[in-house]
Each structure stands twice: as C-alpha cells, then as structure tokens.
C-alpha cells in the first residue's frame, strides 16, 4: 500500500547505542514529528536501513554519522552513500577525526559540516535545520 506523500527520515549512525538514543531524543524534541528518526549501529546496518527506507518510498533527508566506528569509518560510509544516493545530506559527528578525513568527506560526500563530540545542541540543531531546509 502506497501513501501519496512520502515520509521524510533522518538516520543516526553510531556504534554506541547511548549516543543513538540521545541523538534520537534530541531530534524528536527539537523537530517533533516532522521526520521519522532511524538508527543504525554501524555502516553496514545503516546502508540496509537506507535501502529499505528508499524501497518503502521514504525520503532519507539527512544522515548524522559518527566517524570512528568498527569496520567502515564514517567518512568512507558517507562517501559510499553519496555515490548511491547523491541527494542525501550528511553531518559527521565525532570525538576523533583527522583533517584528511574531514576534507575528503566534505569534497567526496558533500558533507555539510563536522561537529565535535560532545556536541553543542544549538550548533548541531542549526546544522540539521540547514540540511533539512527548515531555516
């Protein structure tokens, strides 16, 4: 059964469940029911979530991704997503990142910004609003 309007989603990717829960709560608190809020514990799971959402007609607007994760690092993951789904915007949230990864993810994945952990809620939400065209 298809709906006439496709739901918009924001995906949070981090290998720490507590961070995913915190991000999800903050997004919901700030943005209410404007979006579906999805989570994934690693890049592989995140790609499956994106593929499933797209198949279901859900428009994935934004990915908030950690950088330092087991397996594929955040910058590599966001570049892969960008190659497959060039319209999905992204923000990298990290406590550890090297300058080369920042440059690469901005150039090759069109990542809007890199936000340090622990994040400033106002800066994070401002970036999310810009990426979701809510300003």
Query: pLDDT (tens digit, 9 = 90+) per residue, 50-97?
Result: 999 999 999 999 999 999 999 999 999 999 999 999 999 999 998 887
CB 130 within 8 A of CB 112: yes
pLDDT at 1: 39
Euclidean distance between CA atoms 79 and 135, whole angstroms: 26
2, with CB counted inside 10 A (0-12, 13-18, 19+), is exposed
pLDDT at 95: 87
CA atoms within 13 A on the CB side of 21: 3
| Segment 92-106 mean pLDDT | 89
Q: Global pTM?
A: 0.93
């Amino acid at each position: 059964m298809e709906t006439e309007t496709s739901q918009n989603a924001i995906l949070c990717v981090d290998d720490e469940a507590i961070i995913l829960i915190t991000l999800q709560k903050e997004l919901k608190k700030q943005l209410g029911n404007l979006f579906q809020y999805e989570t994934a514990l690693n890049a592989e799971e995140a790609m499956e979530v994106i593929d499933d959402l797209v198949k279901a007609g859900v428009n994935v607007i934004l990915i908030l991704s950690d950088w330092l994760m087991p397996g594929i690092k955040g910058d590599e993951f966001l570049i892969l997503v960008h190659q497959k789904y060039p319209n999905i915007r992204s923000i990298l949230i990290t406590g550890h990142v090297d300058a080369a990864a920042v440059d690469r993810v901005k150039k090759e994945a069109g990542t809007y910004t890199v936000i340090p952990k622990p994040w400033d809620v106002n800066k994070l939400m401002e970036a999310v609003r810009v990426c979701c065209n809510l300003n």
